[in-house]
């Protein structure tokens, strides 16, 4: 089984009334890992491609809390899936060792990222050919 088989959309719990909506994301319950880091991407031009890397250890959940974007996920063996993120209560779970590219950002896009680890540059694979080689070796 490839890690790309574990990529999946998440539907987060939402509460709402006449005052507005509240989306809930709890570690280990709605998010399949303990959250160690949170960051967000905004102000990206629609033609910009972000990400372009795999992580050896980190898992992620990506949620467009405003606007929209697309996420392309590759497994290093020729398979790819494209996801559209356009609802603030829907996210995508990305396990370790999948290549990810985020693009087609709307002008109001705010892409929230929840990570299972603290930042460690050494666990990033930023070269696609190196990533494909690592996948073949597994």
> Sorting pLDDT into bands at 50, 70 and 90, what band is 3?
confident
The predicted model scores a pTM of 0.93
Per-residue pLDDT at 34? 97
- Tens of pLDDT, residue by residue over 56-101, are 999 999 999 999 999 999 999 899 999 999 999 999 999 999 999 9
Per-residue pLDDT at 4? 86
Establish whether 118 is a catalytic residue: no
pLDDT at residue 137 tops 90: no
**Could you say which of 2, 47, 53, 118 is catalytic?**
53
Per-residue pLDDT at 11? 94
Q: How far apart are CA 40 and CA 62, in angstroms?
A: 9
User: Domain 3-137 maps to which CATH number in 1.10.1240.10, 2.60.120.10, 3.90.1150.10, 3.30.70.100?
Assistant: 2.60.120.10
- Exposure letters 74-90 (e unless 16+ CB within 10 A, then b): bbbeeeeeebebeebbb
- Tens of pLDDT, residue by residue over 9-57, are 999 999 988 999 999 999 999 999 999 999 999 999 999 999 999 999 9
Q: How far apart are CA 62 and CA 87, in angstroms?
A: 11
């Amino acid at each position: 089984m490839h890690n790309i088989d574990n990529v999946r959309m998440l539907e987060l719990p939402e509460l709402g009334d006449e005052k507005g909506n509240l989306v809930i994301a709890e570690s280990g319950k709605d998010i399949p890992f303990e959250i160690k880091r949170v960051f967000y991407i905004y102000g990206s031009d629609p033609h910009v491609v972000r990400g372009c890397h795999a992580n050896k250890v980190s898992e992620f959940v990506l949620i467009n809390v405003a606007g929209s974007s697309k996420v392309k996920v590759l497994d290093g063996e020729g398979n790819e899936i494209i996801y559209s993120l356009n609802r603030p209560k829907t996210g995508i779970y990305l396990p370790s060792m999948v290549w990810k590219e985020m693009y087609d950002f709307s002008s109001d896009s705010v892409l929230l990222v929840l990570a299972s680890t603290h930042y460690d540059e050494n666990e990033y694979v930023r070269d696609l050919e190196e990533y494909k080689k690592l996948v073949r070796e597994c």
